[in-house]
Amino acid sequence: MWFSRIRELDLGLAFSSPDHYFGLIASFPSLETLFLHFPCLTFRLDDFQHIHSFIFPPHLHTLVIGLAFWRPLLSWLVSIAQFPAISIVKLYCISDAELRGVQTLLQTLGPSIHSLDLDFWFSGTIDVFIWLLICESMLKINL
């Protein structure tokens, strides 16, 4: 394997195909830290239809995702992905369109999370305090 010893990947490249994007991630089996930048993804939402599953590298423990407020992808990603026990999660540019995806991701990862960093970006008005209370009651994570 070409990339079998690489432990950290910052994927800030422009991709026009989800197959190439996920294929590249899969070619790093020893990844421990992964930075994803959704604003760099230029493919259409219809291009996702044929992707039904994705397995993140087994040693991954840190996941950092920059979300794109104009293209909510997190809910879709969580619905198809199998995650290892990820202990550090950082999400930035969280828009109101991604709140359900954030909630689902946190519920999916559950108690394996030991460090959580959320950076919100809202285009409209939303009561962040109420949203956090809802998440807290639904997650029941012991951090």
| Domains held by the chain: number | 1
Rounded to the nearest 5 percent, the helix, strand and coil shares of the chain are 35, 25, 40
The parent domain of residue 68 ranges over 8-139
Query: Residue 87 sits in a domain of what CATH number?
Result: 3.80.10
Residues of the chain with pLDDT below 70 are: 1, 44-45, 122-143
Answer yes or no: is 3 within a domain. Answer: no
Answer yes or no: is 1 within a domain. Answer: no
Q: Is the dihedral of CA 122, 73, 131, 85 positive or negative?
A: negative
pLDDT score, position 143: 43
Answer yes or no: is 113 within a domain. Answer: yes
Answer yes or no: is 45 within a domain. Answer: yes
pLDDT score, position 9: 93
pLDDT score, position 88: 97
Answer yes or no: is 38 within a domain. Answer: yes
Answer yes or no: is 58 within a domain. Answer: yes
Answer yes or no: is 99 within a domain. Answer: yes
Answer yes or no: is 2 within a domain. Answer: no
